Amino acid sequence: ESSRSSPCFQFKSIRPSGKWVVRVKELAKNFNEKRLFQSLNFEIKRGEKVAIMGENGIGKSTLIKILLNILPSDQGSVEWGYETHVSYFSQDHHDLLNKHASVLAWLDHYAASSNEQFIRKILAQVLFNKEDVHKDVLALSGGEAARLLLAKMVIESANVLILDEPTNHLDIEATAALAMALHHYPGTLIVVSHDR
């Protein structure tokens, strides 16, 4: 048996979304002269778990960013359904962890009306104990940063989770814990991953 600790991720959703979550019609995107995709059509319904897989450079992260309105498409439309609340895990941790702050203060910013005891409990579940909560987010390792971003998703209680390469910096124990948590998650899931 391993002596290493496993984090505990418990994703919940405050309320369910409508029956359909997102509709994509005739979506197209090019980068320079390279066509990533064209005439892309799909619909994701409440409770579905969707994996986007493929080689590097084919536009998986770009598609996610278009869905989230971070990047524009060249054509087509993305329509989100009724009562969809999205929580996003970016492949690039620096998208959110980009200013000096303690782990505790950073997560408190996303915790709305939660008290410090609750935030410390969530941080302990993802293996930030005692003095770890005072670390500067800019000094975190890749695995620590990933666990902190996942803690933010736990607190947000969204009914749609979008994760872009969430296991890149996680160890075996954390990856197994994440897989189990996503399996039990009642909401809608969109995951980009090389880790089957």
pLDDT band at residue 49 using 50, 70 and 90 as cut-offs: very high
Q: Characterize the bridge pairing of strands 34-45 and 20-31.
A: antiparallel
- For the stretch 9-45, pLDDT in tens is 999 998 999 999 999 999 999 988 889 999 999 999 9
Contacts of 34 (CB under 8 A, 6+ apart): none
pTM: 0.93
97 closest CA partner among 166, 144, 157, 164: 144
Question: Per-residue pLDDT averaged across 80-93, rounded?
Answer: 95
Given phi > 0 = left and psi -120 to 50 = alpha, else beta, which region is 10?
A: beta
**Residue 154, helix vs strand vs coil:** helix
* pLDDT at residue number 32: 84
What is the per-residue pLDDT across 133-146, written as a single tens digit (0 to 9) for each?
999 999 999 999 99
Per-residue pLDDT at 2: 55
Residue 146 has a CB neighbour count (10 Å cut-off) of 25
